[in-house]
Amino acid sequence: MSEGNFAMPRDWRALFADTGAELSCAEAIRARHARGEHDYDGPLPDAVLSPTSIEQVRHAAEICRNARIPIIPFGAGTSIEGGVTAPAGGLCLDLSRMNRILAVRPEDQDATVEAGVTRLQLNAHLRDSGYFFPVDPGADATLGGMAATRASGTNAVRYGTMRENVISTTIVTGDAQIVRTAGRARKSSAGYDLTRLIVGSEGTLGIIVDLTVRLHPIPEALSVARCCFADLRAAVECVTMLVQLGISASRIEFLDEIAIGACNRDSGLDLPERITLFIELAGTPHSVQAETTLVARVAADNEAEEIHWASDPDGCRALWRARHAAYHSCLRLMPGSPAFSSDVCVPISSLPECVAETRRDIDRSGLLATIAGHVGDGNFHVLFLPDPKEAGQVTAARGIYDRLVSRAIAMDGTCSGEHGIGTSKRLKLIEEHGEGGVAMMRAIKGALDPHDILNPGKLLP
């Protein structure tokens, strides 16, 4: 079960006994920890340790460093790029029990949490404070995991991603040192930006054990427009125009007609099964009202065929719950499919062409695939659902995927808007950053983790 150059100990329990953390070598536990939100099992870790304190993590890292054992950090297990598999075996560090909210500081609009706190847990805790934490990937991921993959979601168009919303992290290094990457000042020009280096490093440069994140005031007023279009290009051009006009939307989401159908069936909705934009305006009652008029005009200019407004909180919430569940709803369209998703992001001016060319490529192939995404950022996902009974569909889907990534990179975009690289996209990293950029990343990895024990086999090709 383990491979590579790592010497594996015989008695895992004895080795980690002094840490005081619970350890399991049961196959079912190990298997659960090698699986993200994809439906295949990756290579399993040899053992799963569940620390409850920074000191336990540090102690475990020290043992792993001395014995050259790979460490795979694990949060909620919601990676869809193979981020939690154990290609070289080793120790899975399940941080989900480190789930204390350490401080909420409304006066500074920040909060400090342990890495295992999830986004819904933090927002439930904040409920009556007037503040919320906006970054919202589909899954209820841990904040440590979200920081590690530089995650985002529907709110990024207004509030940014984990890059903008992580103020500081505490990490345990591959050398078993505890390092806090920054203070809590809003800005600093004191030295290299270690926080931004750790955010998105997918556990390969340090294990995030706690983090300080930005909170945002809950907007006074919300309104959600649902606009249907006959034509995909018109929908995307509507988005491009709204972004260029600088409307202060908090979400601009796109679902194609197939994804809408899947949401209807799964979430008990009854939306027209058409190409649809969801545009959420947030602000003061007056600013929302003013932008409502603008959105209606731009949508009409782009041949929207129906605009429906929801401004009651329950109606908005139901819609966004369905949107967050869309990935799973779409997966159910083809049970047993070796489904996979793309995650490209392009400059907004290239979005209409990128989406349209991709749709043509899919249509030519006869494959089932849905398109959905955070189009206000230029980010969209194609969920490929090859039929497991049709030979050749997986290969065809992979071909479309590869062409999509190359298309996005040629448009000065990225292969990964928010899902990270994991094991799945490592070769795409070279296509995107070139040998020179990847060489810099390798040099950094070598310098900060000379024994290559931190999540080996991830991110770097």
Task: Please name the helix (run of DSSP H) or strand (run of DSSP E) that holds residue 438, with its range, or none.
Answer: helix 426-448
Task: Give the integer Cα–Cα distance in Å for 192 and 167.
Answer: 14
The minimum distance between CB 254 and its own copies, in angstroms, equals 15
Q: Which residues, at least 6 apart from 382, have a Cβ–Cβ distance to it below 8 Å? A: 341, 342, 358, 362, 369, 370, 371, 400, 401, 404
Judge whether 343 and 417 are in contact, CB under 8 Å: yes
When the beta carbons of 42 and 137 are compared against its own copies, the nearer one is: 137
CA nearest neighbour of 342 among 100, 81, 114: 81
CA nearest neighbour of 148 among 107, 174, 109, 116: 116
When the beta carbons of 218 and 269 are compared against its own copies, the nearer one is: 218
The minimum distance between CB 56 and its own copies, in angstroms, equals 18
The minimum distance between CB 331 and its own copies, in angstroms, equals 21
When the beta carbons of 41 and 193 are compared against its own copies, the nearer one is: 193
CA nearest neighbour of 58 among 152, 151, 170, 155: 170
The minimum distance between CB 442 and its own copies, in angstroms, equals 9
When the beta carbons of 183 and 366 are compared against its own copies, the nearer one is: 183
When the beta carbons of 74 and 159 are compared against its own copies, the nearer one is: 159
When the beta carbons of 152 and 250 are compared against its own copies, the nearer one is: 152
Phi, psi of 41 (to 5 degrees): -90, 135
Give bridge partners of residue 112 from the DSSP assignment.
Answer: 103, 212
The minimum distance between CB 145 and its own copies, in angstroms, equals 12
When the beta carbons of 63 and 348 are compared against its own copies, the nearer one is: 348
User: How large is the greatest C-alpha to C-alpha distance in the chain, in angstroms?
Assistant: 69
The minimum distance between CB 214 and its own copies, in angstroms, equals 12
> Which DSSP category does 103 fall into?
E
The minimum distance between CB 2 and its own copies, in angstroms, equals 26
The minimum distance between CB 211 and its own copies, in angstroms, equals 14
Task: Please name the helix (run of DSSP H) or strand (run of DSSP E) that holds residue 298, with its range, or none.
Answer: helix 285-301
Judge whether 155 and 252 are in contact, CB under 8 Å: no
- Output the CA torsion 432→435→436→442 (10° steps): 100
The minimum distance between CB 358 and its own copies, in angstroms, equals 15
Q: Which residues, at least 6 apart from 139, have a Cβ–Cβ distance to it below 8 Å? A: 37, 76, 78
When the beta carbons of 269 and 441 are compared against its own copies, the nearer one is: 441
Structure-token pair, residue 342: 């793309």
When the beta carbons of 94 and 343 are compared against its own copies, the nearer one is: 343
3-state class (DSSP) for residue 302: coil
